[in-house]
Structure 1
Amino acid sequence: MSALAPFAVTQKWPAKDPSVIQLYSFPTPNGVKASIMLEETGLPYEAHKVTLADADVKSPEFLSLNPNNKIPAIIDPNGPDGEPIGLFESGAILLYLAEKTGKFIGQNASDKHHITQWLMFQMGGIGPMLGQLGFFHKFAGREIEDPRPRERYVAEAKRLLNVLNTQLEGQDWVAGDYSIADMAIAPWLRGLDFYEAKDLVGWDEHANVVAYLDRFLERPAVQKGLVTPARD
């Protein structure tokens, strides 16, 4: 019996090769964290497109893997102690894959904790705040007459960019060597283009951040991960 047989999600998204990691995702800032990490590590995997439509993320099959109905999620048929494991939450997936491979998590325990704090900076700050900025600037929130919500997230986005710009002074990557922290942070910075908000937050005033994103986007694994799974 396949190691994936107990996972109902495989009924809606069948595995072609059940011996490799199964990725259930869509190319959003959170979704591409997992695909970029998989490309960077060279782990064999199979990508399944799970759209943001209710028919996918709220389907019983997907909810059986992630009850929070968000992408990405993975199944590793070769999990800890030889048992398969399913995981959701992009930060948890990054940490799991880093520990599985011993890559992009630093050279020692101190490095790991330093990297993890910047991963949490993205999870608790960069991601939620830029996401809300996008909502109030580009999407339905722009119809709200009260300017305070939009002003709040514009101000917070600028503050976070300043924090990041300062951290990047004199170094290429946010936590020393290239790591899962960068794979988490940089896709959200790229998302400012999609939100049409770069001018709004003074993007060009943050020279270290601008150069940082350019370096990130030059990586071949990043270029592949940004379009995996394909939208079409």
Structure 2
Amino acid sequence: AWKFFNSFSFSFAQLVGTDHCTYNSTQKALGIDDFRKIPNGVNGIEERMHLIWDTMVESGQISVTKFVQVTSTECAQIFNIYPRKGAIFAGSDADIIIFNPNSSFEISARSHHSRSDTNVYEGRRGKNLHISLVSLDCDSSERQKHLEFQNPDRFTCKGYPQHKGKVEVTISGGRIVWENDELKVVPGSGKYIKMPPFGHMFSGMDKIDAAYLSSLHAPVQRIRTAS
């Protein structure tokens, strides 16, 4: 994992995306006797921004500017839809998020918006752990819903895994589509975005190919040995 994180610190990696494709436990169990039958896919689209902020920015691995780059700008450039996307310019689509770095985000199957009954990031603790104190004589079934830590006092210290930083508002095309943890769109409201060919990486790929082909015709270095 740390090699992955360091790849952003040294600019070896350009962006962070998700291959969001969730299945519930029943569907995953189809491969219990044969792993080849396990449906391939996990969650990620809801957690991406929060995890990158909590893991990379809060830890000092990358700057706030780099966070914007790897989650938005670079993505738009690689897909060749920049500056229509990935920037706030006159003429660009008004696609904006309001991110609160002081807020927190819980990652759990019981609270996420996916229909899946599991979450691959379940139990992962961020830098910010919300703690509450409750009496030891509280309902035992209620205790099982939380992480529990025994305290020397007559209280149990219970905490939900909370991650620092949260997307509070999402604006798409100038309209609020996410607010107060609620999706505010109707089916069919999305639009297909055409990606023109020959993006900014195209010339770079040509240079890499040219360098590789040139290396194939390079003279072979031979070491002379005394006879």
Bucket of the pairwise TM-score, normalised by the shorter protein: under 0.3
State the TM-score, normalizing by the size of structure 1: 0.26
Instruction: Please identify the structure whose Cα radius of gyration is greater.
Output: 2
The structure with more strand, counted as a fraction of residues = 2
